Amino acid sequence: MQLKGRVNKKCPRCGNECLLTQVECDECGLVFSKIEKATNKEGKRRLLRGEKDLVIYVKKCPIDVKKWKLILITIFAGLFGTHYFYVGRWKWGLSILLYFFAVLFMGVVFNAYFLTIWEGTFFSVFGPLTGIYTIIWLNDIRKVCFNRFKIPVSIISLSEEEEYQKQKEDKKKQKEKLKELKKKKSEFKKISD
Ligand SMILES: [Zn+2]
**Ligand 1 is an ion; residues with CB less than 5 A from it:** 11, 13-14, 16, 25, 27-28, 30
- Give the angle 81-44-77 at the CA atoms, nearest 5°: 20
Q: Which amino acid is at 67?
A: K
Largest CA distance in the chain: 84
Burial of 186 (0-12, 13-18, 19+ CB in 10 A): exposed
Q: Which of 27-31, 42-46, 67-71, 158-162 has the lowest mean pLDDT?
A: 158-162
CB neighbour list of residue 143: distance below 8 Å, 6 or more residues apart: 149
What are 96-140's pLDDT values in tens digits? 999 999 888 877 777 666 666 666 666 667 778 888 889 999 999
**Which among 83, 5, 4, 91 is positioned nearest to 40, based on CA atoms?**
83
Ligand 1: centre distance to CA 161 (Å): 23
What are 103-113's pLDDT values in tens digits? 888 777 776 66
What are 4-56's pLDDT values in tens digits? 545 788 888 888 999 988 999 989 888 888 888 899 999 999 999 998 888 99
Q: Provide, for the chain, the percentages of residues in helix, strand and coil under a 3-state DSSP scheme, each rounded to the nearest 5.
A: 65, 10, 25
Q: Which amino acid is at 94?
A: L
Ligand 1: centre distance to CA 12 (Å): 7
Ligand 1: centre distance to CA 131 (Å): 38
- Specify the pLDDT at position 139: 96
Question: Does the structure show a pLDDT above 80 at 159?
Answer: no
Look up the pTM and report it.
0.72
Ligand 1: centre distance to CA 47 (Å): 20
CB neighbour list of residue 109: distance below 8 Å, 6 or more residues apart: none
